[in-house]
Structure 1
Amino acid sequence: MPENQEKEQPRRRQARGERRIAQLLEAAATVFTSSGYTAASTNAIAREAGVSPGTLYQFFPNKEAIAIELGDRLMHRMRETYGEALAPVDPETSLEEAVGAAVDRFIAFNCDHPVFFALMHGSDVPGRFTEDHEALHATLVSRIEGLLSSFLPDAPPADLTRTSHMCLGLYKAGLELILAHEGTERAAYVEELKSVLIRYLQPLVGDRLGRSPAATATS
């Protein structure tokens, strides 16, 4: 066999393997989202993927390994999302614009990948995800602090951290409602979440800038 053909065969096998892994992870995302982690099974994932359980076990030894691989990939994408969504803003950017842009990016990610919420917020997920979730939470709080510092440049660090925790808590509460609805009702809940965050932050921003909340709301 020519040398170039010998090199091509492993590449083809690798490509087929990567496609199969992607197929299995997509099926697992569907099963975890609809059934939850505990109720999900490797048989259900294989059935959703249209393959035999034996084929699944060629790539993953159990459902925990599938969940960890899926979670790692989603965590990477989430880090890309918050890197873009929570960057410090131009001083001329309004609070409404900053909040709206950040919420839209995060909601889009979670709506595109509903399994992320199921894995990261479920009480029955593998222990590995508890550590990942805590690390993600700490990083998000830090990035929110950076975003809010654009509006609250003189805020004491403790106040900024507390406000960031509140913003993230409000977002998570709203996200659960948003993911539970679809269509126009989902869009309405997204707008409600933005309104809650803006109404929470407006008095703080107004106070820090030496302006009244009313003046901030009408500026």
Structure 2
Amino acid sequence: MPENAQKEQPRRRQARGERRVAQLLEAAASVFCTTGYTAASTNAIAREAGVSPGTLYQFFPNKEAIAIELGERLVHEMREAYGEALAPVDPATPLEQAVGAAVDRFIAFNCDHPVFFALMHGPDVPGRLTEEHDALHATLIGRVEALLSSFLPDAPSADITRTAQMALGIYMAGLELVLAREGAERDAYVQEIKNALIRYLDPLVGDRLGRPGLTRTPPR
């Protein structure tokens, strides 16, 4: 057999293997979203992928290994997404614009990958994914702090951290409502998340920059 042909065969086998792994991960994402992680089974994933359980076991020893591989890939994509969405901005940027751009980017990611929420925020997250989630959350808070520092350069770090935690909490509370809806109703809930964040952040930004906020609560 020619040397070039000998080299080509392993490449083809590798490519087929990568396609099969992608097929299994896509099927697992569908099953995890439908049944949750605990109720999911390798048989259900194999059935969704249109392969035999034996074929699945050639690539993954159990459903936890599948969930970890899927979760790690999604975490990598999420890190890229929030790296762009939460980059520091010019302080002259309107708050509504900065909040809207960040929310839109994160909502788009979660709507494109609903299994991310199912895996990372479910009650039965596999052990290694819990560690991945905690690391992701810590990094995400850091990114939100950096974004807030663009608007509040003189604020104490403790205030920035507390505000970042609250802002992320508001977003996460709304995200579950968004993912449970579709179409115009989903869009309306996305706008509600933006409104809530802007109403929370605007008085803080206005106070620090010495300008009136957009959403002051009138005195009683």
Structure 2-normalised TM-score?
0.96
Q: How does 1:1-219 map to 2 (within 5 A)?
A: 1-214=1-214
Contact 2:203 2:212 in 1 (8 A): yes
* 1:61-118 CA distance string (max 9 Å, x none): 0000000000010000000001000000122211000000000000000000000001
The alpha carbon displacement at 1:215 in A equals 8.8
Q: Aligned with 2:65: secondary structure?
A: helix
> Which deviations, in whole Å up to 9, do the C-alpha atoms of 1:15-67 show, x marking residues without a partner?
00000000000000000011000000000000000000000000000000000
Deviation at 1:214, TM superposition (A): 4.4
- Aligned-partner Cα distance in 2 for 1:213–1:97: 15
* Alignment-mate amino acid for residue 12 of structure 1: R
Distance 2:125 2:79 in 1: 20
CA shift for structure 1 position 130: 1.5
Paired with 1:80 and 1:214, the residues of 2 have a C-alpha distance of: 32
CA distance in 1, matches of 2:164, 2:46: 41
The code of the aligned residue for 1:174 comes to G
User: What is the identity, as a one-letter code, of the residue corresponding to 2:92?
Assistant: E
Aligned partner of 2:114: which letter?
P
After TM superposition, what 4+ stretches of structure 1 lie above 4 angstroms from structure 2?
none
Q: SS where residue 213 of structure 1 aligns?
A: coil
Q: Secondary structure at the match of 1:149?
A: helix
Cα RMSD (Å): 1.1
Cα distance in structure 2, aligned partners of 1:79 and 1:43: 31
Which TM-score applies when normalising by structure 1?
A: 0.97
State the secondary structure of the residue aligned to 1:64: helix
Give the match's secondary structure for 2:161.
helix
Task: Kindly provide the CA deviation profile for residues 170-197 of structure 1, in whole angstroms up to 9, marking residues without a partner as x.
Answer: 1100100000001110000000000000
Distance 1:57 1:215, change over 3 A: closer
CA contact (8 A) 1:27 1:49 kept: yes
Residue-pair matches, total:
216
Residue 150 of structure 2 aligns to a residue whose secondary structure is: coil
Query: Which runs of 5 or more residues in structure 1 are unaligned?
Result: none
Amino acid in structure 1 at the alignment position of 2:9: Q
- Quick one: distance in 2 between partners of 1:28 and 1:130? 18
**8 A contact 1:206–1:215 mirrored in 2:** no
Provide the identity percentage: 80
Q: String of CA shifts for 1:128-164, please: whole Å, max 9, x gaps.
A: 1221111111111110010011111111000000000
Separation in 1 of the partners of 2:52 and 2:152? 56
Give the letter for the 1:98 counterpart. Answer: A
